[in-house]
Amino acid sequence: EDSLVRPFVSEVLLDVQLLARDGKDYASTETSVTVLADGVDVDAVTYGTASAEPVIRIYGPTLSPVLYNRTMEDSGTSARLGLDLELDADQFVEINTKDRSVQLNGWTDESASLRQYLTPRDWFFLNSYHNRLRLLSESGQGYAVVTWRDSHS
C-alpha cells in the first residue's frame, strides 16, 4: 500500500507588466539634488519626456523656507512651494508631490495638519530637462533634498 503523497511540481514562466495609475512610465532609479538656502540656483535635470513629481525633504534649522523652480517662473508659471513654519536642527518635513502628503520627520503622518502650512497650495513639479531650483528662507539656513524618477508619457 503506497501512502506517500506525491506533490505535483510544475514551473510556469510569467511575463508581468506593471502600469502606473497616471499612465506614465518611470525610471527604475531615483535622482536627487541638494539645494542650500543660500539663494544659489541648482540645476535639476530630468531626462524624461513628462513632468516629474518629486519628493522634497526640507531640513532645519530653517524658518519659512520656499523652494522655487526658477525655470518655470521664467516662463510665467507659478513654481514655488513653501512652508510657513519653523524647523529645528533635528527636524525635516517630507513633501511627496505625487501622493500630496506632508510628513514631519518622515514617519509621523501629519498630512492633514501640516498641509495647511504649504504656501501656495499648488503642487510643485519638475519640467522635462533643466530646472533651476533655489531655496530661500527667512533664517538663511536649512537645505532641501529633491528626489525624483524620470518619467515618460
15 has pLDDT over 90:
no
Q: Distance between CA 33 and CA 44 in Å, rounded?
A: 6
The residue with greater pLDDT, 146 or 23, is 146
Query: What is the pLDDT confidence band of residue 94, given thresholds at 50, 70 and 90?
Result: very high
Confidence grade of residue 28 (pLDDT, cut at 50, 70, 90): confident
When mean pLDDT is compared across 25-39, 58-72, 76-90, 100-114, the lowest value belongs to 100-114
Give the list of residues 6+ apart from residue 43 with CB closer than 8 angstroms, or none: 33, 130, 131, 132, 133
Q: For the residues 20-46, what does the mean pLDDT come to? A: 88
Is residue 125's pLDDT more than 90?
no
Question: For residue 150, which of 25, 27, 18, 24 has the smallest C-alpha distance?
Answer: 27
pTM of the shown model: 0.79
Q: What angle do CA 98, 127, 61 make, to 5 degrees?
A: 65
Residues 129-140, mean pLDDT to the nearest whole number: 93
How far is it, in rounded angstroms, from Cα 65 to Cα 142? 8
Distance between CA atoms of residues 105 and 108, nearest Å: 7
Q: Residues 148-152: what's their mean pLDDT?
A: 91
